[in-house]
Structure 1
Amino acid sequence: MEERPVSEEDWATVVRNVPVVSVDLVVETDEGVVLGKRENDPAKGEWFVPGGRVQKNEQLTEAVRRVARTELDATVTIERKLGVYEHFWDTADVPDADGKHYVPIGYHVRPTDETTFRADDQHAAVDVFAPPFEFDLHPYVEAYLRDAGVPVG
């Protein structure tokens, strides 16, 4: 599916008025889980699971594969759907939006081969972390990891 850009004006209208449907990925390798240090709001500066909005007419499984490819430069196999979550953020990338509301569908995935993960422009870094984690996990990340069966502490 070809990526369809959304104008800044349309994106602002969406963020101000409706929840954003997205997919978030628990990418598990033999060494641990992949997290990216976010460069933008919400969760700027946090180590977070890769994720992104679902595009119009895009199947969820295709969104999972696209997000893995564009955010990590990886191909993945879907292990299972974790479920539907709700994320309420106080900050947003849109002025005067009064925060951001996401309805992400979580997926537990594995890379299809040995991959060197590469960060996209939304992340300062991407790395693989194994429990026990040396930093506090964001509560939303912790929920995903627990549901995927990854020990969190």
Structure 2
Amino acid sequence: MSDGPVPAAEWETIVSNVPLVSVDLVVETDDGVVLGKRENEPAKGEWFVPGGTVRKHEGLRDAVERVATTELGCSVAIERQLGVYEHFYDTSEFDDTDGKHYVPIGYHVTPTDGEEFEPDDQHSSLRTFEPPFEFDLHPYVEAYLDDAGVLD
């Protein structure tokens, strides 16, 4: 398994040419769902579920735990796998690419070691929201929350 990020030039080649397998987390607490305000493309400025690319030779459950630890600062318990999704974006962090294509696996999770969340450099803020939301959800986030039963 890779221990860190792919070098920028190689990452740009990957983003330009192949879909990215990732895990996205619907983190449900007693107070609602945790969303992060995205600092980078795609979906910059949107409240989005935490998520990240699966690394080579990394199991999906290991990826869920790594993403929770690095993006939220906590451990989580997987309640259930929501399914496989497909996300297409017109933008990416690179100007010369034709957007970004993700194939995320969604997970409904709960924190196991408290509900104090620490944002990483991908998020300007992490907040817990309870439906009804005071803003329009990104369509991909809405699909996750619907499938997790959070919008019921």
| TM value normalised by structure 1 | 0.96
Which amino acid in structure 2 is aligned with residue 99 of structure 1?
G
Matches within 5 A, 1:5-16: 5-16=5-16
Q: Which runs of 4+ in 1 moved over 2 A?
A: 1-5
Residue equivalent to 1:83: 83
Structure 2, unpaired ranges of 5+: none
Return the offset for 1:114: 1.9
Which amino acid in structure 2 is aligned with residue 55 of structure 1?
R
Residue equivalent to 1:106: 106
Please state if 1:140 is matched with 2:140: yes
| TM value normalised by structure 2 | 0.97
Matches within 5 A, 1:40-51: 40-51=40-51
CA distance in 1, matches of 2:138, 2:5: 29
Residue equivalent to 1:25: 25
CA distance in 2, matches of 1:41, 1:97: 12
Return the offset for 1:108: 0.3
Return the offset for 1:151: 1.1
Identical aligned residues as a percent: 69
Matched length: 152
Return the offset for 1:2: 6.3
Q: Tell me the C-alpha RMSD between the 2 structures.
A: 1.1
Work out whether residues 38 and 48 of structure 2, in 8 Å CA contact, stay in contact via their aligned partners in 1. Answer: yes
Please state if 1:60 is matched with 2:63: no
Structure 1, unpaired ranges of 5+: none
Three-state SS of the structure 2 residue aligned to 1:28 is strand
Which amino acid in structure 2 is aligned with residue 68 of structure 1?
A
